[in-house]
Structure 1
Amino acid sequence: MPQSRPQREIARDLLAARGILRLAELRDAGVTAATVSRMEKDGEVIRLARGLYQLPDAELDANHSLAEAAKRFPKGVICLVSALAFYGLTDQLSKKVWMAIGRNDWTPRPSEMPIRVLRFSDDLLADGVETHVIEGVSVRVFGVSKTVADCFRHRGKIGLTVALEGLQEALRQRKATPADIARAADTGGVSTVIRPYLEALTANG
């Protein structure tokens, strides 16, 4: 059946509505890889990474890299330093996106986009996940309490200073209660590690 709309128009409309698309999603909508390639050559789309496209005049969110990472790792969850930064709980500027995936999830090949992948057990990966929309993309991010607990669990990778900053800021900005953090720490198996810091920070009310 002949296509009623030109492929380029379909691609532009989809990208305008959804921000970032994988080549597979464009193909599903009837846009061939050859058309996308020609659009890239003509400057109508930009290639963010292998098989990942966006319009050249798209308005970039401060969290653009998270949206890009979510497209590359649809099952992944933004975690640790990247999640802290998303919630405004750290001054750390990470050059890579920290992302949690399942123990058996496939890891895409390295690309020009720096992503630090951590493997979580299924129960820890499913716990405390929130979905936020960034540039039209649904991005899964661990909630504040879970993120703080995970930072202590992986303090060997990110440093205790970063974990403490996240805890302090989460309490100061009232983005999580001490009880919420204690619960998440218990689930993550780090309650004995966090407890002394939590008690010290909440001792004065």
Structure 2
Amino acid sequence: MSASRVSQRERVLSLLASRGMMRLREFGETGITAATVSRLERDGAITRLARGLYRLADEELDQQYSLAEVAKLIPKGVICLTSALAFHGLTDQLPAHVWVALSKQDWRPRITYPPVRIVRFPPELLATNVEYHVIGQTPVPIYGVTKTIVDLFRYRRMLGTAVVIKAMRETLRQRKATPAEIAQLAEQAGAWKAMAPYLTMLASYD
């Protein structure tokens, strides 16, 4: 094996060890060829997670690793709705899909795995209350608890009112958001008038 191949192989392994996962395009930006990446995959040193997305083969996977995969595959998206709810420990049910918020202008990605559901947010709501959490060494944008509760209510017809009420109750029980914080964000999102009776009822039992 030539010195250049050894060098590129070591660089791939080093980059994945520090970053957790990388796109083929990102390898190319560092001067690493697609042939080197393919060779490492054939050798079993790295694993392809999705089209053009790789990680080390022996890396231990976090339970939320699929969120990191989606963050790499949809860099403009934000983890939302029940996927964000599960991440914050407010439900013990893992969603069948990773819910991702995108702006109305962004293109819809073609991803077969992990399975995703796309929802379209207006720009002012897309950028609100975004937190970054490191999963598998990848920074993942995820909506905070308060924004997640408000968004669940906004999409209650799709997700079911029972899911929303249970999430609101658990949020208040765990004190991860106050009624005032939820009300303020609901007002900004134009959802407070419809949400008020539910939150008032649940807050009275807290």
Q: In which range does the TM-score fall when normalised by the shorter chain? A: over 0.9
Partner of 1:133: 134
Distance 2:162 2:203 in 1: 18
Aligned partner of residue 203 in structure 1, secondary structure: helix
Partner of 1:48: 49
Give the alignment of 1:84-163 within 5 angstroms.
84-163=85-164
List per-residue Cα deviations over 1:131-178 (Å, max 9, x = no partner).
111111010001101000000001122111111111111111011111
The one-letter code of the counterpart of 1:65 is S
The one-letter code of the counterpart of 2:164 is A
Shift of 1:91: 2.3
Shift of 1:65: 0.5
Partner of 1:172: 173
Aligned partner of residue 48 in structure 2, secondary structure: strand
Distance 1:158 1:134 in 2: 26
RMSD: 1.5
Matched pairs, number: 204
% identity of equivalent residues: 52
Shift of 1:112: 2.7
Q: Which moved more, 1:76-85 or 1:155-164?
A: 155-164
Partner of 2:23: 22
Give the alignment of 1:72-83 within 5 angstroms.
72-83=73-84
Shift of 1:189: 1.5
Distance 2:157 2:59 in 1: 38
Check conservation: 2:71, 2:141, Cα contact below 8 A.
yes
TM-score normalised by length of structure 2: 0.95
Distance 1:28 1:158 in 2: 41
Check conservation: 1:90, 1:162, Cα contact below 8 A.
no
Distance 2:5 2:205 in 1: 68
Distance 1:116 1:171 in 2: 27
The one-letter code of the counterpart of 1:170 is T
Shift of 1:190: 1.3
The one-letter code of the counterpart of 2:144 is G
Aligned structure 1 segments of 4 or more residues deviating by more than 6 angstroms? none
Check conservation: 2:90, 2:170, Cα contact below 8 A.
yes
List per-residue Cα deviations over 1:66-123 (Å, max 9, x = no partner).
0000000111100000000000111222111000011111222132320101111111
Matched, 1:71 2:77: no
